[in-house]
Structure 1
Amino acid sequence: MSASQPVILVTGSDIAPEALDLLTNYEIVFAGQRPTEDDLCQLCEKHDPVAIIVRYGKINARIMDAAPHLRVISKHGSGIDVIDQKAAAERHISVQSAPGANAAAVAEHAWAMILACAKSVVPLDQRMRQGHWDKSTHKSVELEGKTLGLIGLGAIGARVARIGNAFGMNVIAYDPYAKTLPDGCHAASLDALLHNADVISLHCPLTDDTRNMINRDTLALCKKGAILVNTARGGLIEDDDLLRALDDGTISWAALDSFPVEPLTAPHVWQHVNNVILSPHIGGVSSTSFVKMGTAAARNVLKVLAEPMESAGALP
Structure 2
Amino acid sequence: MTGPASPPTIFSTNDIHPRAVEHLASAAEFVVASSPTREAILAEAGSADVIIVRAPLPPELFDAAPRLRAAVRHGAGLDMIPIEEATRAGVLVANVPAVNAPTVAEHVVMAILALLRRFRMVDRDLRGDGWFAGRSHADHGHDLSGRRLGIVGMGNVGRAVHRMAQGFGLSVTATTRTPGNLPDGVASADLETLLETSDVVVLCCPLTPQTRGLISRERIARMKPGALLVNVSRGAVVDEAALIETLRNGHLGGAALDVFSDQPLDPQSPLFSFDNVILTPHMAGITEESMQRMGEGAAREALRVLSGELPENLRNPEAVARYRERFPAG
What TM-score does the superposition give when structure 1 sets the normalisation length? 0.92
Q: 1:5 is matched with which residue?
A: 7
Q: How many Å apart are 1:17 and its aligned residue?
A: 2.1
| Residue from 93, 96, 102 that aligns with 1:95 | 93
Q: 1:55 is matched with which residue?
A: 54
DSSP-derived class of the 1:270 partner: helix
Unaligned runs of at least 5 residues, structure 2: 319-330
8 Å contact kept, 1:154–1:178: no
8 Å contact kept, 1:5–1:27: yes
Q: 1:165 is matched with which residue?
A: 166
DSSP-derived class of the 1:19 partner: helix
Q: How many Å apart are 1:241 and its aligned residue?
A: 0.4
Q: 1:20 is matched with which residue?
A: 21
**CA shift digits 1:282-314 (9 cap, x unpaired):** 1111111001000111111222333369xx983
Residue 241 of structure 2 is aligned to residue 243 of structure 1 = no
Q: 1:147 is matched with which residue?
A: 148
Q: How many Å apart are 1:270 and its aligned residue?
A: 1.5
CA distance in 1, matches of 2:180, 2:77: 20
Matches within 5 A, 1:30-69: 30-32=32-34, 34-45=35-46, 48-56=47-55, 58-69=56-67
CA distance in 1, matches of 2:178, 2:7: 42
Matches within 5 A, 1:247-286: 247-286=248-287
DSSP-derived class of the 2:182 partner: coil
8 Å contact kept, 2:152–2:201: yes
8 Å contact kept, 2:157–2:204: yes
Q: How many Å apart are 1:137 and its aligned residue?
A: 7.1
CA distance in 2, matches of 1:15, 1:133: 40
How many residues in Structure 1 have an aligned counterpart in Structure 2?
Answer: 308
Q: How many Å apart are 1:210 and its aligned residue?
A: 0.4
CA distance in 1, matches of 2:191, 2:158: 15
1:205 to 1:137, Cα distance in 2 relative to 1, 3 A: closer
DSSP-derived class of the 1:241 partner: helix
CA distance in 2, matches of 1:202, 1:39: 32
1:284 to 1:313, Cα distance in 2 relative to 1, 3 A: closer
8 Å contact kept, 1:147–1:171: yes
DSSP-derived class of the 1:220 partner: helix
1:137 to 1:286, Cα distance in 2 relative to 1, 3 A: closer
Q: 2:225 is matched with which residue?
A: 224
1:136 to 1:121, Cα distance in 2 relative to 1, 3 A: closer
1:234 to 1:300, Cα distance in 2 relative to 1, 3 A: same
CA distance in 2, matches of 1:65, 1:159: 38
Counterpart code for 1:52: I
**CA shift digits 1:36-87 (9 cap, x unpaired):** 2111111123xx111100112x113211211111110001111110110111
Matches within 5 A, 1:71-86: 71-86=69-84
Q: How many Å apart are 1:277 and its aligned residue?
A: 0.7
Percent of aligned pairs sharing the same letter:
36
1:268 to 1:137, Cα distance in 2 relative to 1, 3 A: closer
1:137 to 1:85, Cα distance in 2 relative to 1, 3 A: closer
CA distance in 1, matches of 2:134, 2:217: 37
8 Å contact kept, 2:27–2:303: no
Residue 118 of structure 2 is aligned to residue 116 of structure 1 = no
Counterpart code for 1:9: F
CA RMSD of aligned residues (A): 2.0
DSSP-derived class of the 2:81 partner: coil
Q: How many Å apart are 1:237 and its aligned residue?
A: 0.9
**CA shift digits 1:208-234 (9 cap, x unpaired):** 100111110111211111000011211
DSSP-derived class of the 1:158 partner: helix
Counterpart code for 2:61: I
Q: How many Å apart are 1:276 and its aligned residue?
A: 1.0
CA distance in 1, matches of 2:162, 2:315: 35
1:63 to 1:178, Cα distance in 2 relative to 1, 3 A: farther
**CA shift digits 1:122-167 (9 cap, x unpaired):** 1111122222154487221222221000001111111111221211
**CA shift digits 1:247-279 (9 cap, x unpaired):** 122211000011122222422231222221101
Q: 2:326 is matched with which residue?
A: none
CA distance in 1, matches of 2:153, 2:165: 15
CA distance in 1, matches of 2:253, 2:272: 17
DSSP-derived class of the 2:97 partner: coil
Q: 1:187 is matched with which residue?
A: 188
Q: How many Å apart are 1:200 and its aligned residue?
A: 0.4
More helix by share: 2
